[in-house]
Amino acid sequence: MAKNHRFSRRALLAGAAPLIAAGPLAKIALADDASAAERTATHGGHTHPRLGHASMIGAEVPAPGVPGQLDILTLPPAALPHQPGRLREYTLTAIDREIEVAQGVRFAAWTYNGTVPGPIIRATEDDLLRVRFVNAGAHPHTIHFHGIHPANMDGVFEVVNPGEAFVYEFPARPYGMQLYH
C-alpha cells in the first residue's frame, strides 16, 4: 500500500524555520563569544603584568618568587619507560612568609618552599614518593595529600612541630592530579 506524501509549502516552511533562524542566532552567539573572550583577556579593561608560561621541558619556567631560578620540582619527569617502584624524592619546607596577593597588598602566609601555591610534585603511577617535610615555620603543621590512601601517610596523625621533620612515603596511586596542603 503506497502512502500519499503530500508536499506543501507549509510543511517546507515548518521544517526550514529552525535552520533559517539558526543563521542569525549563530552570528549573535559568535559575536558574544568574541567580545566575552576580549573582556576575559583584559579582565574587563584591567591590565596586569605579563605572567610567565610553562614550557614543555620546563627550561623557561623560573621558580615562583625567585627571579631567574628554576624550580626543580616543577620540571616534568624524564621520559623513561614505566618502572613501578621508581623512587622519587622531594623536600617540602613550611616557611612563614609575607606574600604579595595584589599590587601593594601583602598577606602573611604559610608557604611550601616559600611559594603559594607550593611546588608541583610530579610522578608516574606506581612510583614510590618520598617527601621529606621540614617545618621551618612557627606553627605545628602536617601535609594532607589528596587521593593518597595509606592512613599513616595522610597527615592526620603526624603533627610536625616547628624545627622538626617527617618523611611521608607512599606509592603514587591512583594516577591523576592530586592536590596537597
Q: 113-148: per-residue pLDDT in tens? A: 998 889 998 888 889 999 999 999 999 999 888 877
Look at 13-22, 39-48, 72-81, 102-111 and tell me which has the smallest mean pLDDT: 39-48
Region 145-159: what's the mean pLDDT? 76
Residue 173 pLDDT more than 90?
no
Q: Which of these ranges, 20-24, 49-53, 69-73, 146-150, has the smallest mean pLDDT? A: 49-53
Q: Residue range 32-41: average pLDDT?
A: 46
Checking if the pLDDT of 78 tops 60, the result is no
Q: Is 77-171 a CATH 3.90.580.10 domain?
A: no
Question: Is pLDDT of 77 > 80?
Answer: no
DSSP the chain: --------HHHHHHHHHHHHHHHHHHHHHHHHHHHHHHHHHHTTT---PPP----SSSTT-EETTEEEEE-GGGSPPP-----TT-EEEEEEEEEEEEEEEETTEEEEEEEETTBSS-PPP---TTPEEEEEEEE-SSS-B---BTT---GGGSSSS--B-TT-EEEEEEE--S-S---B-
Give the residue with greater pLDDT, 57 vs 111: 111
Alpha carbon distance 123, 149 (integer Å): 16
Average pLDDT over the chain reads: 72
Query: Is the distance from CB of 162 to CB of 140 less than 8 angstroms?
Result: yes
Comparing CA positions, the residue from 66, 167, 54 lying closest to residue 114 is 66
